[in-house]
Amino acid sequence: MTEIFGVPIQSLMGQLMIGLVNGSFYAMLSLGLAVIFGMLNVVNFAHGAFYMMGAFFSWLLLKHFEVNYWWSLLLAPLGVATVGVVVEKTMLRWLYQLDHLYGLLLTFGLALIIEGFFRDQYGVSGQPYDLPDIFKGAFDLGFMMLPKYRAWVIVACLSVCLATWFVIERTRLGSYLRAGTENPKLVQAFGINVPLMVTLTYAFGVGLAGLAGVLAAPVYQVNPLMGSNIIIVVFAVVVIGGMGSILGAVVTGLALGLIEGLTKVFYPEASATVVFIIMAIVLLIRPAGLFGREK
């Protein structure tokens, strides 16, 4: 068996594959953050909470209404997006004139509220969400068993990310979004319904988080803390990639998933910190982030 630094190459491939799955979640979450940040200039601290909410919605749908996974995949993100609409219309809306920091603070408060609520209702120990039947089992890739569901997660995340990228960079709606990002008042004065666009953007961004949550539900525990655990890492990912570009968010997310996967093999002790260490290094050599645009 060929080995790299004492690790069989095949198990290394397996680890990379798993890294890619984690990377897909990072990518999808940082993409949502980037989209929201772009349009609203708000760093959505509640993103993790919405991700958790997505997972919970699908669990609740299954438990109370016997809605299956596929419908959840559609309904749960819609539900999350609806909450997003309410949040945007009743709260965030009042902050656009102010320093961006207030958006961060508000969403931080929201994250606490949402997390506290779910903790109170469903406890902290987590709820099980079974794999849908067609995803039971694994592909035998020869060197490893790739669980079917994980493969699906990679495919689903990547397609969603690509679609989002296409819409924003290549369509007319996208150019409204980008222009609105810079000077919403002016864009509105040109005849575009900016308030609606902003609401929908926020809804879309948190909907993405919700979707990630549904995808994560069968893999991880459906747990009120799952959001706050992941969100800080995603922030680091965003700093590394720079929020300047959609593609940057996706690529960085995937790459960091891979790197984290490798660390787990070669030096597992550091796997919790590796992302932050990379962030520090990137800050030293490219303060604006790998894909960031300097203002």
Partner 1 sequence: QAPAPGKASDDVVKIGVLTDMSGVYADYGGPGAVTAAKMAIEDFGGKMFGKTIEIVSADHQNKADVAKNVTQQWFDRDKVDATFENLNSAVAIAVQGLGKEKNKITVVTGAASSKLTNEECSPNSGIHYLMDTIALGNVVGKAIVKDGGDTWFFLTADYAFGHSLEKDTGDVVKAAGGKVLGAVRHPLSTSDFSSFLLQAQSSKAKIVGLANAGLDTVNSIKAASEFGITKNQNLAALLMLITDVHSVGLNTAQGLYLTEGWYWDMNPETRAWAKRYEERMKKKPNSNHAAVYSSVMHYLNAVKAAGTDDTAAVLKKMKETPINDMFAKGGKIREDGRMVHDMYLFQVKTPAESKAPWDYYKLKGTVKGDDAFQSLAMSRCAALKK
Partner 2 sequence: MDKRTKILYGALLLVALAAPFVGGYPIFLMKVLCFALFACAFNLLIGFTGLLSFGHAMFFGSAAYFCGHAAKAWGLTPELAVVLGTLGAAIMGYFVGWLAVRRQGIYFAMVTLALSQMVYFICVQAPFTGAEDGLQSVPRGKLLGLISLRDDTAMYYFVLAVFLFGFYVIYRTIHSPFGQVLKSIRENEPRALSLGYDVDKYKLLAFVISAGLAGMAGALKALSLGLASLTDVSWQMSGEVVLMTLLGGMGTILGPFLGAATIITMQNYLSGFGSWVTVIMGITFVVCVLAFRRGIVGEIAYRLKAK
Partner 3 sequence: MSAGWNAVSMPTPATDAALSISNLHAYYGESHILHGVSLEVAKGELITLLGRNGAGRTTTLKAILGLTGKRTGSIKINGTEAIGLASHKIARLGIGYCPEERGIFSSLSCEENLLLLPKVGAGLAANKGLSVDELYAMFPNLKERRTSQGTRLSGGEQQMLAMARILRTGADILLLDEITEGLAPVIVQTLGRVIRELKVKGFTIIMVEQNFRFAAPLADRHYVMEHGEIAAVVEKHELAAKTEMLHEFLGV
User: Could you list the residues that contact partner 3 (CB under 8 A)?
Assistant: 172, 175-176, 178-179, 181-183, 185-195
CB 290: neighbour CB atoms within 10 A?
17
- Nearer to partner 2 among residue 187 and residue 230 (C-beta): 230
Under 8 Å between Cβ of 41 and 105: no
Give which of partner 2, partner 1, partner 3, none residue 1 binds (C-beta under 5 to 8 Å, depending on kind).
Answer: none
* 175 lies in the binding site for partner 1 (CB under 8 A): no
* 249 lies in the binding site for partner 2 (CB under 8 A): no
* 105 lies in the binding site for partner 2 (CB under 8 A): yes
- Nearer to partner 3 among residue 19 and residue 38 (C-beta): 38
Q: Report the nearest approach of partner 3 to the CB of residue 181 (Å).
A: 6
CA distance 87 to 44: 11
Task: Identify which of 111, 73, 26 has the alpha carbon closest to the alpha carbon of residue 214.
Answer: 73
- DSSP-based three-state secondary structure for 4: strand
Q: Where are the beta strands (DSSP E) in 55-170?
A: 138-140, 145-147
Residues 6 or more apart from 282 whose CB is under 8 A from it? Answer: 239, 240, 289, 290
Footprint on residues 146-205 left by partner 2 (CB under 8 A): none
Residues 6 or more apart from 38 whose CB is under 8 A from it? Answer: 177, 178, 181, 201, 243
Residues 6 or more apart from 268 whose CB is under 8 A from it? Answer: none
Q: Report the nearest approach of partner 3 to the CB of residue 104 (Å).
A: 22
Give which of partner 3, partner 1, partner 2, none residue 259 binds (C-beta under 5 to 8 Å, depending on kind).
Answer: none
CA distance 107 to 272: 25
- DSSP-based three-state secondary structure for 147: strand
Footprint on residues 43-82 left by partner 2 (CB under 8 A): 43
Under 8 Å between Cβ of 172 and 43: no
- Which residues of this protein are in contact with partner 1, per CB under 8 A? 8, 11, 14-15, 18-19, 21-22, 119-120, 123-128, 130-131, 138, 144-145, 147, 149-150, 219-221, 223, 225-226, 229-230, 261, 264-265, 268-269, 271-273
- Which residues of this protein are in contact with partner 2, per CB under 8 A? 37, 43, 91, 94-95, 98, 100-102, 104-106, 108-117, 119-120, 228, 232-233, 235-236, 238-239, 269, 272-273, 275-277, 279-280, 283-284, 287-288
